[in-house]
Structure 1
Amino acid sequence: MRGYRARYLKWALAAVVGCILVFTFSGEAQALVTGQVHGTVVDADGNPVGEFSVKFTPTEGSNSSISRNVKIKKNGTFKVLFFPTGQYKVTSLDPELFLKHIKMTVKDPTGRTVDSTEGDVHPAEGLLTVVVSGGLKVYVDLVAVSGEEKQKLAQQFSLQSASGDLKDTLKMVENKQYDQALSKLDGILEKKPDLGAAHYLRGQTLLRMERYEEAVEEYRTTMELDKEQPGVPANLALALLQQAEQQAESGNEEGTADLYREAVGMFDVAVEETPDNMAILTSRAAALDRLGDNERLAEALRGILALDPDQVQVRLRLADILTKSGNGEEALALMEELDSDDPVVASTLFNVAVKFYNDGELETAVMTVEKALQVNPYMAAGYRLLGRAKMSLGEKEGAVQALEKFLELAPGDPSAETERKLIEALKAG
């Protein structure tokens, strides 16, 4: 960094100094030496990230003492033509975005590159310092992440900034040396029982070992000791969900509902921290499903589809809930967006069609069951429903064809004899 700053100073003295005049309260004019700052912000895939602000904060010993908030445009670019010279740390003012990488290129007034550097964010020091020098242009290219990646970085940094013993233990966990890691953590906690990071890492280890009840207690302890420890609500929620599942599988249903409810509460907190973390959103939906809270589950599934419309199983589950709650039209709208030959899609469409048939919406029932049969042309029950619906609409020929197809596919069905008599009656009439 010293060489990096020294090169800046060298070029600052040689370059044409850019100035603007500002008046002091005494009325005397002073020259404020400035440079230019241009930049871009993209995500990990190189897509523009915009419509938020970053903050340039002077470092200790900087020429400037004034922080500057800079608005990022929708296309992910920003530009400040008169930026006070000095050394600055840049951070995101959007709590949902985390700046993980910076690249800086310095150019003189002729456009010639005089220096460049780049690096990832450091757990303790943050991003590399941006040095603005008079008459020079600094191009600052930033990479911003959100959601799950942001949370992973926060957890990683928290542990990286811990003691050497914890770093060694983290390596053990990453290498699946869980028993050794627990032994090491027990020794650390014997000396420092209030070390939240150690309890958190112990919870992580127990979670991987599927010792969920113990993991829950470690995460709870972490929250009591260190409320700022990132990722705790999400991991506590996951441990509670897995503990409830484990109890249910063993035949011990007592208390599982309370565990699911607590898991949902912790997932709610985690969603506030990282609203676009798909793993958290789907796990929260699973907990709501176990509770049978279909109203909140439907809302949760809509949220998942808003982020990822290609989640077929989520779409099917939501359509099923909507059908059972009497909202067949929304269910059908969801299904119409699917392009899949999955038999489950056909079954869900069939259930929606049954709902329309029972409600007397016969034409919609016909349309829906025909969609189901396009997906699965061997679904006998679909042809039976189609025949019944067409018969009710007075379409005798179509009803006979559909019912005959039903008998062809399911000759041994308990209702086969009834349908044969119905076909005879339709032909006779």
Structure 2
Amino acid sequence: MKMSIKRITALIISLSLIFVFSSWAQQGRGRGRIHGTVKDEAGNPLEGVKIVAQHLKYNTTFESRSDKKGKWAIAGLGTGYFRITATKEGYAPVYHEMKVSQFSRNNPPIHFTLKKIQVRSLNSPAIEDEASLAIFEEGNNLFDQGKYQEAIPKFEEFLSKNPTLFHVHINLGNCYRELGDYEQALKHYQIVLDKVKETSGSYEGSEVAARALASMGHVYIKQGDLTKAREYLKQAVDIFPQDETLAFNVAEIYFKERQIDEAIKYYQLAIKIKPDWAPPYRQLGYAYLNKGDYRPAVENLKKFIELAPDDPQAETIRNLIPKLEELIKK
């Protein structure tokens, strides 16, 4: 009986590792689905917003548009890290980076809020509205097409006209990252961090700084340096602990490196931020299994099944739970 449990437990843990790091299968395509909403600053739904999801390794892109209720969805995604960008003429574009799983129907929803671009006034050096927006949109379109070298001068031109919008250095860094020029990519992400420090005094609570740090982490993921990737993603979570996907990504790296206690800490943070998101419960269950702590393992695996009863791993987990409960009784 014990041998059977060990074998099943080992199988589950192996499956979890495959799940965590099967990011590059099928050239970015698969059965994954993401969805969300787009609203303006007043909370009104925005129709016709272009949503682009780009696989950060293979550059495979998927596109959708928001409907009258501001809702959008994209299907056919593989497992891996994606950048999801929302753009609409007259609004400042925004993006979100996250890990998508094609094996889960519970990828977290992404809710965008777009801000109207203001025409420059005497007291506020904002952007040159339509002209600058067109330049930025062109840069984004070139990036979405994988034309990173051509996108760079567009983002540089935009910054020359709008130097206060320093977060666009992240866009430049992303171009260099996809070109494999990691030194230049890190340089631009660092500019963002320096500007945040200069204007705010610290990174604490800054979503822009968190995105820059997360982008640095993704550079190191592409280089295969999980130790440094974890370091930067952890910093991103620590300064902006409202992003469940950042916390989850840090936990995944700790789990892969067999630092189980640290993995547990960040899975729990992801759950605290978004209690109805299923994947952290499953991974937390696997983490406790790894430690031989069957009771919390069962509790979290049951919660996972409750939230994601149709997940491909749900049946295997259902079969495992009674055997773990028998061990708890002994």
Q: TM-score scaled to structure 1, two decimals?
A: 0.39
Q: TM-score scaled to structure 2, two decimals?
A: 0.49
Higher RCO (C-alpha 8 Å, min separation 6): 2
**Structure with greater Cα Rg:** 1
